[in-house]
Structure formats: structure tokens, C-alpha cells
């Protein structure tokens, strides 16, 4: 009898004869069956026994003769082999016929109706259960018949085989056909499930589309390929709800006093007087131009009431203090609003933003930058503007031009009784609305926000052009250095201006009118703005953009110094330094050197290059995030200084610095308390009561306060962690103080938005594990 493939572990050392016996037949003298040990069932042959291995037989030298059996037994075994092979062949043939029959039957069933199929399926399910029981019985009978096969005759074997084959053929044909039917039904059941999956997928797609519409940041427009778009087409579809006008003026009834007597004013006149009263506590009213321009426009309004016009003739006799006191009182009342009122105002603002603050551009919801029409008031201007103080008139819907898609619904005018001035469908521009302002005669536009895809595409093109300049900058510098000694005066002036733009990052400068602020750039420099100091120093002193003063003394190459002295020779202080050069000539020459190159590209290139050089400077490894941000802002500061992005010191700077210093002192005092508690806990001494419990808990009016729970930790490890957190907070506040002091006269925002390639910032943040969406990186950190 063949030994089972399951052996106990470990095997007992017994003789081979005893080892082959089963456990039930072993004698008591043999070792008992081990308990508590697992049995190992080997997948392949069992491992060889280590004990009592029989010796290997030597290989026979000659082939041994086959074993001879009796003739009667030999004939009987031959008959059995023949019957087995014939029965196997018949079973195979019958199985193939049954498969063909099942395929025909399944094809005929697929053409039948669904009702019959459902009934047959129920019958077949019952039939399959009966067939499974028959198969089990058949297996048992076949196992018993196999033991009797040796003694049964060939005729009985044939009969049994035929009957079993017929039974098996019928059962197998029915089972195969039932399997076919079940497969067909499963396919039909899968079809609606696939439909459901499609709807679910569609639901996900629609949800995704909604999120893309809701959040413009999720629209990855830079990954979309625009094939076959016409040149200059900015959008295909555009829908929005128009602009929001400021509310109408509500008269307050506070009188203007002239020479100590009240003056009756109309609503329009009172509105203008109120605008001036808002600036009584500012430096604007100290400017003579501001007061003269306002009183000129105010007198024009008084013409509608001749009596008041004849009476109010001198500005110095006008008293706006009563109106200013009323405005201050209203401002204080606004500060004392309840939480419910503030929440209500916040909800109203959110509703307005949701209605007017977004546009649907090419199927995507995009934020609008400035959807409010500029309210009336006094024009301030930048710097010493000659028109400061003039009255800005109220813009009405008739002054506004709306730009919208052809198939889109024109937004309804929000002011009853009025209509839009013009409605256009210009998809080659990116503005949504425009109107003409009343001070300088220029146009004001409503644009999409800086985070929109249109602004992003423009910025991407700008920074790509400045990056391409890297491949041409050496050749351009070689050319203008060569032209510095040219005999042609135009070439020499152009080369000198290019050197200044390239090395000092000055703006190119445009011509200004008499009614505009006297701001200059490189090409519009005058003799009075430049001073030559021996041996080779040039001093610049002029008002740049936004009337910000640019004052810089720099040492230049000798050839540059000679050219500046030559261009100044024989000219008056008000004469142009580069009298042969214009902005148009300079940009035309630059475009011939590289496609898309202008003087502004030099400024963008030098700003991004300076940022890259400053960020590449080594910094300590153990810096926290706040110190890393300080390192970045210092690099940004160098770019802002290069581009002359200055500002005046904010009025609240000293108060903010004082507040931060007081906060640091409080944190250090708290740290000392914790250190003292740590020493007490370490020495095993009792802890004193915390100050929050020991102080008298009374309000100013004598009513008792609610007792505060002690917030200081008592556990040794917690005290240590609290000290570490305080150290980190103190460190961050000191970094903030240092940063505010360094950046009090520098504006980082302009260079961050317009001149520094954002890919440099993103790469630095990724390298040093700093989140790129931090507020102190995105906003002006000063």
C-alpha cells in the first residue's frame, strides 16, 4: 500500500518496516503519536529519510528479462486495456458531438423570447441541482465499479459504458446549454450596468466640469493645445453680468460754512463738498494745486444757484470742518456694528461678488479683476500731478461700452431708466467693458483677474521671450559696445542708452504732455537729470514712474562717461540728453536683433537674472521656514532696488514695530516662567500657583470675573515642549521685525508680479521645501 504524503514532524527513529506502518497498526513498544506538533503536507515528494536508509543497489551489467505472467492472466489484462482505450475514444467522440449540439441549442435559445428564457432558467436551475446529485452518486458508483472491473467480463463492461456514456452525454449537453444560457443572461444583465457606469462617469465628468468652472485655478489652460486658431482670437464665447455702479449719493444735510455763515447747497453741490471734507486730515489739502483745482470745479457747480455762486468767491473763507466731523462720527458708528450686522454685510458682498465677479469664458468660470465702476470723487494722481484735486464726475450706463459674445445674452442695465452706451462683440480684445474718464480723457477698462488664463498666456509669452534673450545677450552686448565709439551720433546715443537700460534696468521712457506728471525714463532724460563726476561717475537724479525719485551714483566705463559728457556739451538743462533717439527707433532696432525684443524685455531679463543669482547664494541648512522666506525676500529686495520700486514709509510702520517688540517681550517673559517651572519640577519641588489663578478676578466695575484655568503645564516633558514652541515663536517674530525694518521703503509686489519669472520662485520653493502658496511669498511681505 502506498504511503500517504503526510508525515509527522519530527519523524521517530524506527526501522523502515515499522516506519511504513500506519499509526493504528503500530505496537505499544513503538513511540506514541506526538501531540501538539503540526503535520506537514508536502506538495511534491516528501524529503528523504535521514535514518535507516537502505543501501543502493548496484546497476545491473546486463538487461534483465521481463517478468513472465501466466497466459490466462495475460489475456485477461489485454482485454481490459483494449476495453478501456475504446471506452475513452467513444467518450471523446460523444463529448465533441455534445459540444456541437450545445452550440446549436444555445444559438436557437438566443433567438427565443425573454419570457421563455426566464422560465427555462428556473427549470434548469432545479435541473442542475438534480444533475449535481446524480454526479455525486455516479462518482461513488464509478469508484466501486473500478474495483470490480478486473473480475467483470468484457460484455458487461461494454453495456455499462454505453449506459454511462449516454447518461453523461445527456447531462453534459444540458449542463453546457444551461451554462450558455446563463452566460447570455449575464451579458444582458451587464449591459444596463455598463449604462449605469456611463452615467456615473458622466456624473463625475459633470462634477469635474463644475469644479473647473467654480475654481479657475483648476483649469490647466497651459496644457491645452490650440489647433487651427486664428491669429488674434482671444476667446470664443464670453458671458458675464455687466459692471456694478456705485450707489447714488444720499444727502446728509450738514451745512458748509462760508465766512462763519451756513450755506444752502443742492445735493450735487453737497456731494462735492463732502468729497473735499474727507481729505481735511491728509497732506493733499496742503497742496496749493489740489485746492485750486477743487475750488475751480466747485465754483462751476455753484453756477446752478446764482445767489450762492455770487456769495462764495474765496476758498480760504470756506469751512468744511462740520462736514468732516459728521464723517468721522459716521466712521466711528461703523466700527461699533454688531456681529449680526457685519455678517449680513458680508453675505451681501458675497452675493454681489458671485453675480458680478465672474465671467464664463470658453465654458470656464473666470474671475473678473475690477467689476466696479470707479465712484465719483477727487482726482489725486501720482506724485506732483498737475490735475490733482479736480472733481471726477459720476459714470452713467450711457458712458459704458459692453463687450460680450454674439450668442450671449446682453446683461441688463442695473440702473432703471438707463441703457448701455454701446454693446460690441470683439473677440480680439480681452477687456470686458470700457468708458472714458473725465480727468485726462483716457479710457478705463474692466479686465479679467491676474490669475486668469488670458493674463497667464500673456505673462508666459513675456517670460519666454526674456528667457530667449539669454541666447542673444552676448551678441547684443558686443554690438552696442562696438557702437559706443561709432562716428554716427545716433548709433552712439543708441548704444549708450542700451548700456544704461541693460546695466541699470531703467525704463525706456516716453514723451509726456504738459498736463501729465513730469516723469522720465532713459530715452526722455534731460541734461538736468544727469551729472558727470570725474574720473568716471555718473549721478542720476529724476522722477520715474509714479513720481518716484530715482537717485543713483554709479561708476561707469570710461567710454560711457565720455559719451555722457559729449551729449551734455552745449545744451541747456531742459534739453534732451539723447536728442537723436526715440523709443520707437530703439525698439525697432532691438526687434531686428531678436524677434519680440524690446527695451522692456531687458528689464524683465535682468530682474529674473538678479533673482536667480541672489537665490543661488548659500544659506545655512538649519533655517526654519520663516528664515528661508526672509532669505527669499532679501533676494526680491535686490530686484526691487534694481527696478527702483520704492515707496514712502507707511504711517503705521512704527506702531507695527512697537507691537511686535512688545509681543517678543511677552513671549520671552513667558519663556522665563516656564524655565523656572522646569527647574522646580527637575528638583522635585512643589510648583507655585499660576498667575491666572492667583490674580484678583474682578472687572473694572467690581463684578467678579470667571476664573481662568491654569494654562501652564506641570509635566516635565510638556514644559520642555512648551519652551521649544516659545523659542520658535520668538525666532519667527524677530525675523518678522527684521524683515519689516529692511523693507519699509521697498515695494516687493511690482517686481514679484511683473518682472520676476515665477518658475524661478517655484523651483526654489520645491528645492527648499517651502510652500509656494504662502501669503508672505505671494503678497508684498513688507
Residue 746 per-residue DSSP state? B
* Nearest CA among 512, 546, 550, 514 for reference residue 530: 550
* Known catalytic membership, residue 755: yes
Sheet strands (E) in 48-184? none
* Nearest CA among 377, 412, 370 for reference residue 249: 377
Distance in angstroms (rounded) separating the CA atoms of residues 273 and 294: 9
DSSP conformation letters of 285-323: GG-HHHHHHHHHHHHHHGGGSHHHHHH---GGGEE-HHH
Q: Is the bond leading into 535 cis (omega within 30 degrees of zero)?
A: yes
Sheet strands (E) in 310-432? 318-319, 358-361, 364-367, 377-378, 391-392, 400-403, 422-424
Cβ–Cβ under 8 Å, residues 284 and 248: no
Distance in angstroms (rounded) separating the CA atoms of residues 391 and 398: 20
Check 275, 279, 356, 755 and give the catalytic one. 755
* Nearest CA among 187, 183, 190 for reference residue 106: 183
Q: Which residue has the cell 528523504?
A: 48
Cβ–Cβ under 8 Å, residues 757 and 467: yes
Distance in angstroms (rounded) separating the CA atoms of residues 396 and 393: 9
Cβ–Cβ under 8 Å, residues 374 and 252: no
Q: CA quadruple 129, 132, 134, 140: dihedral positive or negative? A: negative
All residues at 6 or more sequence positions from 29 whose CB lies less than 8 Å from its CB, including other chains: none
Cα 700 to Cα 153, 284, 690, 697, 704, distances in angstroms: 120, 42, 22, 10, 9
Active centre residues (catalytic) = 755
Amino acid at each position: 500500500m502506498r504511503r500517504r504524503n503526510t508525515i509527522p514532524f519530527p519523524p521517530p527513529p524506527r526501522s523502515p518496516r515499522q516506519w511504513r506502518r500506519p499509526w493504528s497498526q503500530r505496537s505499544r513498544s513503538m513511540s506514541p503519536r506526538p501531540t501538539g506538533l503540526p503535520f506537514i503536507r508536502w506538495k511534491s515528494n516528501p524529503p528523504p529519510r535521514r535514518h535507516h536508509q537502505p543501501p543502493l543497489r548496484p546497476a545491473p551489467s546486463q538487461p534483465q528479462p521481463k517478468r513472465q505472467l501466466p497466459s490466462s492472466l495475460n489475456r485477461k489484462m489485454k482485454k481490459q486495456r483494449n476495453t478501456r482505450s475504446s471506452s475513452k475514444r467513444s467518450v471523446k467522440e460523444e463529448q465533441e458531438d455534445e459540444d456541437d449540439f450545445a452550440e446549436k441549442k444555445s444559438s436557437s435559445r438566443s433567438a427565443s423570447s425573454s419570457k421563455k428564457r426566464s422560465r427555462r432558467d428556473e427549470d434548469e436551475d432545479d435541473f442542475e441541482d438534480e444533475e449535481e446529485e446524480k454526479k455525486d452518486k455516479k462518482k461513488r458508483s464509478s469508484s466501486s465499479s473500478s474495483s470490480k472491473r478486473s473480475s467483470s467480463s468484457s460484455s458487461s463492461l461494454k453495456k455499462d459504458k454505453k449506459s454511462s456514456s449516454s447518461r453523461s452525454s445527456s447531462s453534459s449537453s444540458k449542463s453546457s446549454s444551461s451554462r450558455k444560457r446563463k452566460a447570455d443572461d449575464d451579458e444582458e444583465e451587464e449591459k444596463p450596468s455598463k449604462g449605469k457606469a456611463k452615467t456615473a462617469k458622466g456624473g463625475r465628468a459633470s462634477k469635474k466640469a463644475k469644479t473647473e468652472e467654480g475654481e479657475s485655478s483648476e483649469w490647466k489652460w497651459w496644457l491645452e493645445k490650440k489647433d487651427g486658431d486664428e491669429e488674434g482670437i482671444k476667446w470664443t464665447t464670453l458671458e458675464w453680468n455687466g459692471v456694478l455702479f456705485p450707489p447714488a449719493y444720499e444727502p446728509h444735510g450738514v451745512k458748509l460754512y462760508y465766512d462763519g455763515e451756513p450755506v444752502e447747497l443742492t445735493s450735487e453741490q453737497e456731494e462735492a463738498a463732502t468729497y473735499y471734507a474727507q481729505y481735511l486730515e491728509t497732506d493733499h489739502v496742503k497742496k496749493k494745486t489740489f485746492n485750486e483745482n477743487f475750488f475751480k470745479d466747485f465754483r462751476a457747480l455753484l453756477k446752478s444757484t446764482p445767489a450762492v455762486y455770487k456769495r462764495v468767491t474765496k476758498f480760504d473763507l470756506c469751512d468744511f470742518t462740520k462736514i468732516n466731523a459728521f464723517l468721522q462720527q459716521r466712521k466711528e458708528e461703523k466700527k461699533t456694528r454688531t456681529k449680526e450686522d457685519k455678517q449680513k454685510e458680508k453675505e451681501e458682498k458675497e452675493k454681489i461678488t458671485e453675480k458680478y465677479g465672474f465671467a464664463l469664458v470658453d465654458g470656464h468660470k473666470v474671475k473678473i479683476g475690477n467689476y466696479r465702476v470707479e465712484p465719483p470723487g477727487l482726482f489725486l494722481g501720482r506724485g506732483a500731478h498737475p490735475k490733482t484735486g479736480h472733481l471726477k464726475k459720476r459714470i452713467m450706463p450711457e458712458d459704458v461700452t459692453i463687450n460680450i459674445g454674439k450668442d450671449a445674452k446682453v446683461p441688463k442695465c442695473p440702473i432703471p431708466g438707463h441703457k448701455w452706451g454701446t454693446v460690441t462683440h470683439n473677440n480680439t480684445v480681452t477687456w470686458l467693458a470700457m468708458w472714458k474718464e473725465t480727468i485726462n480723457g483716457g479710457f478705463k477698462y474692466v479686465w479679467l483677474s491676474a490669475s486668469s488664463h488670458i493674463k497667464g498666456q500673456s505673462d508666459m509669452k513675456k517670460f519666454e521671450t526674456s528667457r530667449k534673450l539669454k541666447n542673444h545677450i552676448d551678441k547684443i552686448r558686443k554690438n552696442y559696445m562696438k557702437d559706443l565709439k561709432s562716428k554716427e551720433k545716433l548709433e552712439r546715443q543708441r548704444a549708450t542708452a542700451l548700456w544704461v537700460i541693460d546695466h541699470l534696468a531703467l525704463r525706456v521712457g516716453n514723451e509726456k504732455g504738459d498736463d501729465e506728471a513730469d516723469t522720465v525714463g532713459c530715452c526722455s532724460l534731460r541734461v538736468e537729470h544727469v551729472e558727470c563726476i570725474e574720473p568716471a561717475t555718473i549721478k542720476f537724479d529724476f522722477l520715474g514712474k509714479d513720481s518716484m525719485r530715482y537717485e543713483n551714483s554709479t561708476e561707469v566705463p570710461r567710454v560711457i562717461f565720455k559719451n555722457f559728457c559729449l551729449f551734455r556739451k552745449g545744451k541747456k538743462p531742459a534739453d534732451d540728453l539723447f536728442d537723436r533717439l526715440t523709443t520707437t527707433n530703439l525698439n525697432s532696432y532691438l526687434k531686428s536683433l531678436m524677434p519680440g525684443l524690446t527695451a522692456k524685455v531687458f528689464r524683465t531679463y535682468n530682474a529674473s537674472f538678479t533673482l536667480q543669482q541672489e537665490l543661488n547664494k548659500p544659506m545655512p541648512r538649519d533655517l526654519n521656514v520663516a528664515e528661508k522666506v526672509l532669505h527669499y525676500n532679501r533676494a526680491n529686495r535686490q530686484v526691487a532696488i534694481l527696478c527702483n520700486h520704492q515707496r514712502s514709509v507707511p504711517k503705521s510702520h512704527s506702531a507695527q514695530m512697537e507691537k511686535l517688540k512688545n509681543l517678543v517681550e511677552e513671549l520671552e517673559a513667558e519663556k522665563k516662567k516656564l524655565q523656572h517651572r522646569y527647574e522646580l519640577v527637575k528638583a522635585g519641588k512643589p510648583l507655585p500657583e499660576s498667575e491666572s489663578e492667583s490674580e484678583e478676578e474682578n472687572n473694572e466695575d467690581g463684578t467678579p470675573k470667571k476664573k481662568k484655568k491654569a494654562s501652564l503645564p506641570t509635566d516635565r516633558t510638556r514644559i520642555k515642549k512648551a519652551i521649544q514652541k516659545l523659542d520658535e515663536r520668538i525666532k519667527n517674530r524677530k525675523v518678522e521685525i527684521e524683515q519689516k525694518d529692511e523693507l519699509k521703503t521697498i515695494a516687493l509686489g511690482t517686481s514679484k508680479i511683473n518682472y520676476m519669472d515665477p518658475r524661478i520662485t517655484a523651483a526654489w520653493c520645491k528645492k527648499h521645501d517651502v510652500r509656494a502658496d504662502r501669503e508672505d511669498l505671494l503678497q508684498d511681505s513688507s
